[in-house]
Structure 1
Amino acid sequence: MSDVVERGLVQQWHGLLARHAAVCNALEVALQERHGIGVSEFEALERLATCDHKCRSADLTEAVHLSQSATSRLVARLEREGLVQRALCEMDRRGIFVTLTEAGAQRYQEAKPTHRAVLQETIGDGDCVVCTPADD
């Protein structure tokens, strides 16, 4: 790999990290201020709302891009707030299902427009740093 190619890749990587941080920070502020939840909480609620209101813990871990232990703590917080419930899988007692409660579905529906508005403001212009070549 040439130095020019390498520099371009690193620039794109740094641009991607900066864009990700900016979008996540904007989402975090708006969701916390307006709905009392963070980005990870919203992502978990959205996953549950779009997969028949329940999914396996392992699937939720993959969807929210957290470690298994961090997802477990996230689910515990959501459960304390009455937004989700945990239940054993009847077919496999080792498996845990996380289900969305009525309050969780309502919080998701209330937060969804905020989430989408922030996405529109931050990345809706189509100017994707990953998709455009870096300036040399």
Structure 2
Amino acid sequence: MTATSHGDVVREVRTGPADDRGQSFVTDRWDTLDRLHRLVQATVERRLREETGFGVSEVQALRYAGSGFAADAGPESMRLGEVADGLGLSQSATSRLMARLRRQGLVISSAVDHDRRGVQMLLTPEGHAALRRIAPRYEQVVRDAVRDLGSQDVDPLLWHFLTGENDARTVNR
């Protein structure tokens, strides 16, 4: 497998792959989007680790677990399966991730009352503090990684989706 440069992936998002091996348009576009996602993911992962000490999965888990609030009742626990589904991870990967966060004192877990096999998670006060501290950095790192793709070379529909801009060409550089 040959390494794909950032420019190659951006060109593919705009024009499709250079060689036609009989794959469908949808498959080609999906493969290109997947490579683009991996490029952004790697950039975000590296910068987050350097700047906050947290990885993407940890930040996303804190964000997801921290979203369990009822307006009138305060924080609500979330089942481990809900967190796994929300993060797109397997149960075992989510369990290992939550164990790391638990060892850091950022989440607590307990068995579900009516289902002893179930586990529910809740952010600790330290977890909420960490989330408040790293969430703005996460937002900026993701924004920078998307911006660095080079907006003039990326499919306008993809830019609209990623940036929420009405005109994909108005992304600030």
User: Given the two structures, how large is their TM-score scaled by the length of structure 1?
Assistant: 0.81
> 1:23 aligned to 2:40?
yes
Is residue 47–residue 63 contact of structure 1 (8 Å, CA) maintained in 2? yes
State the alpha-carbon separation in 2 of the partners of residues 68 and 119 from structure 1: 26
Counterpart CA distance in 2 for 1:10 and 1:90 is 45
Instruction: With a CA cutoff of 8 Å and minimum separation of 6, indicate the structure with the bigger relative contact order.
Output: 1
**Alignment check: 8 A CA contact 1:89 1:96 kept:** yes
Give the C-alpha shift of residue 22 in structure 1.
1.5
User: Structure 2 CA distance, aligned partners of 1:31 and 1:4?
Assistant: 37
Work out the percentage of aligned pairs sharing the same amino acid: 32
Which is higher, the Rg of structure 1 or of structure 2? 2
1:78 aligns with 2:101: yes
Deviation per residue, 1:13-55 (Å, 9 max, x gap): 2211121112211221122112211111111100011112420
Match of 1:34 among 13, 34, 51: 51
Q: CA 1:5/1:120 → structure 2, altered by over 3 Å: closer, same or farther?
A: farther
Partner of 1:134: none
From the superposition, tell whether residues 10 and 93 of structure 1 become closer, same or farther in structure 2 (CA, over 3 Å).
closer
Moved over 6 A (4+): none
Q: Which residue of 2 aligns with 1:55?
A: 78
Q: Which amino acid aligns with 1:37?
A: F
Alpha-carbon distance in 2 for matches of 1:4, 1:95: 47
Unpaired runs of 5+ residues, structure 2, are: 1-19, 70-74, 162-173
2:7 aligns to what? none
Aligned counterparts, 1:1-136, within 5 A: 6-52=23-69, 53=75, 54-123=77-146, 127=156, 128=158
**Contact conserved, 1:23 with 1:122, CA < 8 A, in 2?**
yes
**Aligned partner letter, 1:36:** G
Q: Deviations over 1:84-114 (max 9, x none)?
A: 1111222333321111011111111111111
Kindly report the root-mean-square deviation, in angstroms, between the aligned alpha carbons of the 2 structures.
2.5
State the distance in 2 between where 1:67 and 1:99 align: 19
TM-score, normalised relative to structure 2 = 0.65
Tell me how far apart the structure 2 counterparts of residues 93 and 7 of structure 1 sit (CA, whole Å).
47
| Structure 1: stretches of 5+ with no match in the other structure | 132-136
